[in-house]
């Protein structure tokens, strides 16, 4: 009886196999060959001529001289022989679910579902601008988690995302809601005070899908009633946040303008300082000692100060911007010269999404070389995100995320503001060379 059952089982398997087309049984990943006229090796800074990038499925399998690669008849060949090819760019400080007009009192009229839909729009714009990976550091009600998951499921076009969910902040601080009158008793999602509360909030954010933890270590510019130079979380609270986050496998990004908050956050062990407007030598030394990244957000100063009044930004916020933003450039230039680790970030949402690459020119103006600014948006940002094995370079084993531009970005970094070709995971998102 046992032998008979085995025979019947084998017969069923043979019948099922006969129903499956031979092509499906022998299916192999789609193979694509990209011919690059010039390929920037972001590690060495060398521009390699006449290269072929071979892609299978969503991964790069080889990179080398084009003459050594003979595409098969079934391969898809993409001709970028007149372009300069780079890894897909990474923005380590975005707010995809927000827009510039949503600052101040206007933000009170935006529902959580509307925010999520705004995020879907901005995700597409950001990807088409050449940013194939972003770190989203702050969104209401876990709308960034939903956006990340929708992109991963293929429901929405957008970059790869690492997301924080609601940022943690003190009552009445930069990451709280200070626009409503007291009788509303309104607090932002991430408000937590004291060691027990911040530990709970870290665990709650992770429970609901956060890839990292964002905290507000100091006051900010686009908030009412707080001072950007004043520290907000105590050092003990920040140490508790970092300890729990790191133990649970999450990195910590700290919004920090003021010098004391920068120093305390770096001493607490955060992985990155966002903005760093009043960074001083003590903070620089601590960050260098701990390997803490600085994520400056510089171009926003130009755009915000030119457009804030037309957007009806509350006057106290404009006044803070006029003081903090120029000061930030002086101090960030000093931090660059002092050799802090730098990762590229923009704070997109303070200005329109899609203009992210304007950040490169400001970084170069303040002392980085074009290559260093590009490294900040590739290998450095990949390291900060914990994805060095996945993104940040055109190398075998990494996701096939590439962009192409005309000209040489090492000579004119503004060419990155005019991306002509974008590929994410082996799929072409934008290709102006075929027009």
The 3-class secondary structure across 74-108, one letter per residue, is CCEEEEEEEEEEEECEEEEEECCCCCHHHCHHHHH
Helix residue ranges, H only, 213-341: 235-247, 259-268, 281-290, 299-307, 315-338
> What secondary structure does DSSP assign to 380-427, as a single string?
HHHHHHT-TTTSSS--TTSB--EEEESS-TTT-GGGGGS--EEEETTE
| Contact partners, residue 193, CB within 8 Å, separation at least 6 | 170, 171, 237
Taking the C-alpha atoms of residue 11 and residue 260, their distance in angstroms, rounded to an integer, is 74
pLDDT of the residue at 320: 96
Taking the C-alpha atoms of residue 173 and residue 188, their distance in angstroms, rounded to an integer, is 10
Q: What is the dihedral of CA 214, 219, 223, 227, to 10 degrees?
A: 180
pLDDT of the residue at 2: 53
pLDDT of the residue at 73: 93
Q: At 34, is the secondary structure helix, strand, or coil?
A: strand
- Tens-digit pLDDT string for the chain (435 aa): 455 555 455 544 444 455 545 444 456 789 999 999 999 999 999 999 999 999 999 999 999 999 999 999 999 999 999 999 999 999 999 999 999 988 878 888 899 999 999 999 999 999 999 999 999 999 999 999 999 999 999 999 999 999 999 999 999 999 998 888 888 888 889 999 999 999 999 999 999 999 999 999 999 999 999 999 999 999 999 999 999 999 999 999 999 999 999 999 999 999 999 999 999 999 999 999 999 999 999 999 999 999 999 999 999 999 999 999 999 999 999 999 999 999 999 999 999 999 999 999 999 999 999 999 999 999 999 999 999 999 999 999 999 999 999 999 999 999 999 999 999 999 999 999 986
Strand-pairing partners, residue 289, are: none
User: CA nearest 298: which of 240, 263, 347, 255?
Assistant: 347
pLDDT of the residue at 166: 98
Count the neighbouring beta carbons within 10 Å of the beta carbon of residue 204.
Answer: 16
- The two three-digit tokens of residue 346, written as one number: 């923009």
pLDDT of the residue at 23: 45
pLDDT of the residue at 5: 54
Taking the C-alpha atoms of residue 334 and residue 377, their distance in angstroms, rounded to an integer, is 20
pLDDT of the residue at 22: 46
- In the block, residue with structure tokens 């999602």: 189
pLDDT of the residue at 105: 83
pLDDT of the residue at 27: 66
Containing 363, the helix (H) or strand (E) segment is helix 358-365
Taking the C-alpha atoms of residue 291 and residue 380, their distance in angstroms, rounded to an integer, is 12
Taking the C-alpha atoms of residue 241 and residue 235, their distance in angstroms, rounded to an integer, is 10
pLDDT of the residue at 25: 46
Taking the C-alpha atoms of residue 107 and residue 143, their distance in angstroms, rounded to an integer, is 15
Taking the C-alpha atoms of residue 295 and residue 381, their distance in angstroms, rounded to an integer, is 9
pLDDT of the residue at 55: 98
pLDDT of the residue at 380: 98
Beta strands in 118-159 (DSSP E): 131-136
| Dihedral pair phi/psi, residue 159, rounded to 5° | -75, 165
Taking the C-alpha atoms of residue 361 and residue 353, their distance in angstroms, rounded to an integer, is 17
- The two three-digit tokens of residue 96, written as one number: 């995809």
- C-alpha distances in angstroms, 6 versus 12, 16, 17? 10, 16, 17
């Amino acid at each position: 009886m046992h032998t008979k059952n085995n025979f019947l089982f084998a017969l069923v398997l043979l019948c099922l196999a006969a129903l499956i087309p031979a092509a499906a049984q022998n299916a192999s990943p789609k193979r694509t060959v990209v011919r690059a006229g010039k390929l920037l090796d972001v590690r060495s800074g060398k521009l390699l001529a006449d290269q072929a990038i071979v892609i299978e499925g969503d991964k790069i399998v080889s990179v080398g001289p084009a003459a050594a690669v003979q595409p098969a008849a079934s391969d898809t060949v993409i001709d970028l022989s007149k372009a300069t090819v780079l890894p897909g760019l990474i923005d380590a400080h975005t707010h995809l679910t927000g827009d510039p007009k949503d600052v101040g009192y206007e933000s009170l009229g935006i529902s959580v579902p509307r925010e999520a839909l705004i995020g879907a729009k901005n995700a597409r714009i950001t990807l088409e601008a050449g940013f194939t990976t972003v770190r989203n550091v702050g969104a209401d009600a876990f709308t960034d988690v939903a956006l990340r998951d929708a992109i991963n499921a293929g429901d929405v076009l957008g970059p790869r995302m690492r997301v924080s969910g609601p940022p943690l902040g003190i009552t009445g601080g930069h990451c709280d809601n200070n626009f409503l009158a007291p009788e509303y008793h309104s607090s932002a999602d991430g408000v937590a005070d004291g060691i027990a509360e911040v530990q709970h909030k870290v665990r709650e954010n992770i429970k609901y899908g956060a890839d990292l933890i964002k905290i507000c270590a100091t006051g900010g510019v686009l908030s009412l009633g707080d001072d950007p130079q004043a520290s907000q979380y105590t050092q003990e609270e920040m140490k508790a946040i970092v300890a729990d986050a790191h133990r649970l496998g999450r990195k910590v990004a700290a919004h920090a303008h003021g010098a004391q908050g920068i120093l305390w956050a770096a001493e607490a062990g955060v992985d990155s300082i966002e903005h760093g407007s009043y960074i001083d030598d003590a903070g620089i030394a601590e960050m260098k000692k701990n390997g803490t990244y600085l994520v400056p957000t510089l171009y926003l100063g130009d755009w915000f100060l030119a457009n804030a009044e037309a957007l009806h930004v509350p006057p106290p916020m404009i006044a803070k911007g006029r003081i903090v933003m120029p000061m930030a450039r002086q101090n960030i230039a000093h931090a660059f010269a002092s050799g802090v680790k730098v990762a590229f970030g923009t704070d997109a949402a303070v200005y329109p999404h899609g203009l992210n690459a304007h950040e490169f020119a400001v970084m170069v103006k303040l002392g980085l070389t074009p290559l260093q600014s590009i490294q900040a948006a590739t290998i450095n940002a990949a390291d900060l995100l914990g994805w060095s094995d996945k993104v940040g370079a055109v190398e075998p084993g990494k996701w096939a995320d590439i962009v192409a531009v005309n000209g040489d970005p090492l000579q004119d970094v503004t060419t990155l503001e005019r991306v002509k070709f974008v590929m994410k995971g082996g799929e072409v998102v934008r290709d102006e060379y075929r027009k």
